[in-house]
Amino acid sequence: MQSAFDASKGGNRTISSIITLFIEVFYIINILNNIKYIGKSGLTKLVYVWMFFMFISVLVTSKSLDRLFKDIVYTQFWCLSYLYVFVMTKKKNFGIYLMKKYFLKIFIVNLLLFFYVFRLKFGITSNFEGSNQIYYPLLLLPWVFLLKEGKLKFLLLIVLLCGVIYSFKRNTMMLYSLCILIYIHHTYIKSDKSSTLIKGVFIIISLVLTLSYIGASSIESQYILDRFTFEDLDKATGRKAIWYEVIELLKYNTTSTELVFGHGHNSVKDNVKIFGYNLSAHNDFLEVLFDYGLILLLFYIILYLLLIKRLFYLKNNLKKYYVPYAVSLVLFGGMSMVSHLVLYPTFFIFTACFWGAIESEIGLFKRKKYSQFLVK
């Protein structure tokens, strides 16, 4: 699916644009039908502003009507996804409970697709590179952490662990590990629950079993080890070379208009070629600056600050959402620094939808608290 968003694959990108457009129309109809639930929180206002300036950026930088249409559809997708979930979560007959069930089903489907379609069907030895398809279930991890403690939750975490290891992606392994550490620390160690040791042993055993399974093939196990034993990890990815090229283009090949409004959606790929491949910036700050300009980079930084502010609010007021939200920020920050999240809406919508649901819950909590204050 990710390749469908590559501008060089015109046919795939056109089909993807049409499908995405239909989904956005569905979003817009439902948002308008429930307009009374539209909120005015700081994060939601930022999404409105982002949508407006993104539209301006695309309008200024698109080089053809066809590219204009596709870029508008893609760049607005995560914003409309956020607003749709935000609105629908506020509805009393819908709420975060049904949203959770819906996204958990998507999580399971994505895991099955990863194991069957992207790894087992095509064979691991056919393509020695990390599979980006693992990002789909990984970015749904915050929804898994909304589940109550129990067998289902730990089963899903273990199956995802197997997928993360089998994906051969260093950053997903590191991000998953960090998320689990946050979860264990806050849920068990910090709360001093007696089942901490049992859960820890359970995770370690599953990890050993997974490694043993992959170790059945000496080629595959050696490949995993090699992914972690490079003296210079950047030799495997070329990220430093990519970042250097993008910075050089910003310094010496960027007009004042391009600095403000950007070069155009996914334009790093059109201008940077490393090891014979056209690549994205592999850093969302550089990507946003190069593609969309200084204005949207400023709003992107504000987005980070608002999300961190929400995290502290949840810690003090809605503790049940604290760990899932912290996990979403770890995934967002980790992928933003060394990969690409904002650039590909099929990745980012899962994170945006989660933020929309939690933002709606925060609004409901504040109104309930205010009503109780008035009663007193």
Do the domain assignments include residue 365? no
Domain limits for position 143 = 126-235
Do the domain assignments include residue 225? yes
The pLDDT of residue 164 is 84
pTM of the model: 0.85
- Closest CA relative to residue 211, chosen from 178, 165, 170, 176: 165
Q: Which residue has the tokens 């699916």?
A: 1
> Are 142 and 328 a contacting pair, CB within 8 Å?
yes
Backbone angles phi, psi at 151, to 5 degrees: -65, -40
Calpha distance 200→138 (Å, rounded): 20
Q: And the tokens for 213? A: 């399974």
3-state secondary structure of 34: coil
Calpha distance 194→21 (Å, rounded): 50
Do the domain assignments include residue 20? no
The pLDDT of residue 236 is 44
Calpha distance 235→228 (Å, rounded): 12
Q: Along the chain (376 residues), what's the average pLDDT of each consecutive run of 10 residues?
A: 44 76 93 85 93 94 86 93 92 79 90 73 48 86 90 88 80 86 78 56 54 46 47 55 88 89 89 76 91 95 96 93 96 88 86 94 83 59
- Closest CA relative to residue 279, chosen from 123, 119, 132, 62: 132
Do the domain assignments include residue 74? no
Amino acid at 325: Y
Q: Which residue has the tokens 């689990």?
A: 180
> Are 8 and 278 a contacting pair, CB within 8 Å?
yes
Do the domain assignments include residue 185? yes
What is the DSSP secondary-structure string of 36-54?
GG----HHHHHHHHHHHHH
Cβ neighbours for 195, distance < 8 A, ≥ 6 positions apart: 188
The pLDDT of residue 195 is 57
- Closest CA relative to residue 116, chosen from 174, 155, 157, 159: 159
- Closest CA relative to residue 236, chosen from 332, 171, 175, 333: 171
> Are 103 and 350 a contacting pair, CB within 8 Å?
yes
- Closest CA relative to residue 262, chosen from 288, 298, 299: 288
Do the domain assignments include residue 176? yes
Do the domain assignments include residue 218? yes
The pLDDT of residue 228 is 45
Do the domain assignments include residue 306? no
The pLDDT of residue 282 is 86
What's the domain count of the chain?
A: 1
User: Between the CA of residue 9 and those of 13, 14, 67, 254, 277, what are the distances in Å?
Assistant: 6, 9, 12, 26, 14
Q: Which residue has the tokens 């089909």?
A: 15
Consecutive H or E run containing 278: strand 277-278
What is the DSSP secondary-structure string of 274-341?
ETTEE---SSHHHHHHHHH-HHHHHHHHHHHHHHHHHHHHHHHH-GGGHHHHHHHHHHHHHHHHHS-S
150 DSSP assignment:
S
Calpha distance 94→89 (Å, rounded): 6
Amino acid at 137: P
